[in-house]
Structure 1
Amino acid sequence: MMYLIGYDISNPKRLAKVYKTLLDYAVPIQYSVFLFEGSKNHLQSCIERLLEIIHTKEDDLRIYQLPTNGKQWRLGKSFLPEGIFLTGMPMGIY
């Protein structure tokens, strides 16, 4: 399954920890947005680690499951080098 993970962390130290933790599980696609592809168990492991870092009254962490047959569109500059694409979803580039 694919998930989009976004976050708004109020403390710079926690922000760095969340970013580094997500690098173990997902691909950064924009500032504070990661693409996760894996099993529910792997996602649960990621969530458990993140819950040890964030303060639920101060920080915002959101996880959205992406549809299996979903499409992606990119407008503007890509975060990946030229010729490198994420797989898993059909893509439209404008």
Structure 2
Amino acid sequence: MTKNWLIGYDISNPRRLGRVHRVMANHATPIEYSIFLYIGSDKGLAECLSEVSAIIDPNFDDVRCYPLPSRGLQERIGRATLPDGIQWSGLPTPLGPHFNIEKA
């Protein structure tokens, strides 16, 4: 069964940070530099987190993974990541329209 997860990390060492980012980019969609949207199975998530776990130093680094509700509210507030009128098709179809919030 496919599920949505938000994964974020705070890595203290620049070399480990780059390695974690590359692993995460192979498994999930970057939302911000250290925030990723993972869409997939529990097994795939476990594989992703296992790879990350092999890189981090648990005494100094922090990785967090939060399940997202399948029909929860999803919005973006603040500066647009893309110019007006441009929608990023890298997001799954159910999430895409929620990231295109018009200014009031």
Q: Shared fold by TM > 0.5?
A: yes
Report the structure, 1 or 2, having the larger strand content. 1
Identity of aligned pairs, percent? 40
- Among 85, 88, 91, the residue aligned to 2:94: 88
> Per-residue CA shift, 1:10-31, capped at 9, x if unaligned?
0000000000000110011112
Aligned-pair Cα RMSD in Å: 2.0
Partner of 2:80: 77
Q: Which amino acid aligns with 2:86?
A: E
The number of residue pairs the alignment matches comes to 94
For 2:68 and 2:41, the matched residues in 1 are separated by: 13
Unaligned stretches of 5+ in structure 2?
none
Unaligned stretches of 5+ in structure 1?
none
**Residue 42 (str. 1) matches residue 48 (str. 2):** no
